[in-house]
Structure formats: C-alpha cells, structure tokens
C-alpha cells in the first residue's frame, strides 16, 4: 500500500495554482533578506570633499620624475653585448630579422687628373 499522503488525488479534488499563489511560494522559497548593514542609511559614512575628488581625478604630470629616473643611470652597455641580446630575443621568421645593411658604394671617380688626359692626348693624337 502506498504511504498516506503520497498517492494521487482525484482530478476534481486537486487544488489549482493561480499566479498569485505561485508568486507567493517563489518569494517564500527565496527567503528573508539576510541581516546586514543597510546601505540606505548615512551612519558611518565619511563625507568626501569635492575639491579632493576633483584633484584625485586630474591627470598627473610625471615628466620630472621620469626625466630624473632616466638621467640617473649613465651606464651604457657594450655594443657587442647589446647586439648579442637583441639577436637572442629576435625571432626566426624573416619578418623578425632586421634588414640587411647595404654596402655603400663609393662614387666612381677617375684616378686620372686633367693633366694626365692632356698628356695622353698629346701622345696619342699628336696634338700639342
């Protein structure tokens, strides 16, 4: 035999749930608000100065402190060591490689002077 109160009731005897009763049950399941500080009260609140808030939100110029920091260290690393560190941190892809430095070509000038040309002209063409 089924236990008392767990069997199904006849369809005509069942209570119908309307919207109001269901909402009340949901509210009841949610529970009462926990005791805590009421945030709507002013007790224990510190009044902030509007001027202090304005100053706090203003941008700060760190230029002087940064310059002092940058000029403090005058130690310059050796160029060979710097190149070695940069090479270690560089990727292997071609886009990570620095462009190859092209060798500058010296402008091609002649080794002959104007005097040499005149001398050649005299010897070759027979002109004075």
Which residues, other chains included, contact 98 with Cβ-Cβ below 8 Å and sequence gap of 6+?
90
Q: What is the mean pLDDT of residues 26-39?
A: 68
Q: What pLDDT is attached to residue 55?
A: 87
pLDDT above 70 (res 127): no
**Please, which pLDDT band fits residue 38 given cuts at 50, 70 and 90?**
low
């Amino acid at each position: 035999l089924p236990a008392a109160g767990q069997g199904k009731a006849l369809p005509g005897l069942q209570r119908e749930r309307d919207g109001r009763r269901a909402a009340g049950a949901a509210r009841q399941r949610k529970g009462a608000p926990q005791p805590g500080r009421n945030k709507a009260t002013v007790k224990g609140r510190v009044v902030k100065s509007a001027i202090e808030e304005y100053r706090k939100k203003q941008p700060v110029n760190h230029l002087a402190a940064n310059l002092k920091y940058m000029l403090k260290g005058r130690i310059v690393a050796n160029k060979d060591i710097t190149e070695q560190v940069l090479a270690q941190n560089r990727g292997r892809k071609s886009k990570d490689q620095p462009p190859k430095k092209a060798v500058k070509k010296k402008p091609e000038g002649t080794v002959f002077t104007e005097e040499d040309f005149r001398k050649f002209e005299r010897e070759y063409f027979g002109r004075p």
